[in-house]
Structure 1
Amino acid sequence: MLLCLFLVGRAQAACTVSATGINFGVYDTFAVTPLDSTGSITVSCDRNPPTDVTVAIGPSGTSGGFTPRMMGQASRPGRLNYNLFTNASRNVIWGDGTGGTATVFLRKINRNHPETATIYGRIPPLQSVASGSYSDRLTVTITP
């Protein structure tokens, strides 16, 4: 009796994501220039050899979309438009690759070599909004 087995498998890398949120500080409704700030996403994976990953940031939890994303107030209906970008020029919206958005590709990540990507945030000028705190919740997805 001849028995041949061909087994094919692929090991998944276990990765962790940590983020430094973007704190825009105080927004001046009369300022004629946008308010910019930065944050970061760091990815570390436990795999050797290193793995490459794509990092996507989902739509706004407040508006449900990418253009614009919106921050909301906890107890009021106020909304403040903003967006996140992949570059310092702030002309490529960081999203999930749909609707004109782009993702970020990080290369050769392992536990000894985490990679960090900068998130470039911008609030457009001259928005008439109520005073108070604004926030949004986003989902970050990494795909090998």
Structure 2
Amino acid sequence: MKKRLLGVGLGLGLLGLSPSAFALCTVLCSCSASTSSVAFGVHDPLSGSATSSTGNVAVTCGGVLGLLVPYDIELSPGGYGTYSARQMGSGANRLNYNLYTSGAYATVWGDGSGSTQIVSGSVTIVLLGGTTENHTVFGRIPAGQTSVVPGSYSDTVTVTVIYQ
């Protein structure tokens, strides 16, 4: 049996803060967000198993004690696919994957359109410091993609944090 090994990675890029975040926090607080990549490592399409990995979206706010800052986190479909079928690319070749809101891999993390879901959260600011809320991004490459060409696959997904 011939084994095909693929190096795959996914970058999560932060788009920026929405105007409402600046309106809320102009005087009372400041907020920022950061991401870590979902790195799948080596995927063997002939193994019959899905490959899973996680990344993170961290939202940090500091300012006036006790201020509650609610927000929503949206993920774009990426550069090659749609929400129902995100794809990573290696030249002209594609590898299906998706990003989910939990380790159950049932709900696609997106912008709320179709069957995707936005992840919501809030940060309560504590005295003399920033408070960070972490949100895990669950990634999965489904099994059964046996005709995929070996290579190094990647995609970039835009993360948008909308402060309310």
* TM-score grouping bracket, smaller chain normalisation: 0.7 to 0.9
User: Residues 47 and 59 from structure 1, CA distance in 2 versus in 1: closer, same or farther, beyond 3 angstroms?
Assistant: farther
Larger of the two Rg values belongs to structure: 1
More strand per residue: 1 or 2?
2
TM-score by length of 1: 0.85
What residue is the counterpart of 2:49 in the other structure?
33
Q: Find out whether 1:86 has 2:101 as its counterpart.
A: yes
Q: Find out whether 1:141 has 2:157 as its counterpart.
A: no
- Superposition deviation, residue 50 in structure 1: 2.9
Number of residue-to-residue matches in the alignment: 132
Structure 1 gap ranges (5+) = 1-9
Would you identify which runs of 4 or more consecutive aligned residues in structure 1 move more than 6 Å?
Answer: none
Q: How far apart, CA to CA, are the structure 1 residues paired with 2:76 and 2:144?
A: 26
Q: How far apart, CA to CA, are the structure 1 residues paired with 2:111 and 2:78?
A: 12
Could you tell me the percent identity over the aligned residues? 36
What residue is the counterpart of 1:4 in the other structure?
none
Structure 2 gap ranges (5+) = 1-21
What residue is the counterpart of 2:112 in the other structure?
97
Q: Find out whether 1:62 has 2:80 as its counterpart.
A: yes
Q: CA RMSD in A?
A: 1.6
Q: How far apart, CA to CA, are the structure 2 residues paired with 1:109 and 1:136?
A: 33
Q: Is the 8 A contact 2:62 2:131 kept in 1?
A: no
Q: Is the 8 A contact 2:83 2:110 kept in 1?
A: yes
More helix per residue: 1 or 2?
2
Q: Is the 8 A contact 2:60 2:123 kept in 1?
A: no
Q: Is the 8 A contact 1:39 1:120 kept in 2?
A: yes
- Write out per-residue CA displacement over residues 101-136 of structure 1, whole angstroms, 9 at most, x where no aligned residue: 001111225452110000000001121211111100
Q: Letter of the 1:95 partner, please give it.
A: G
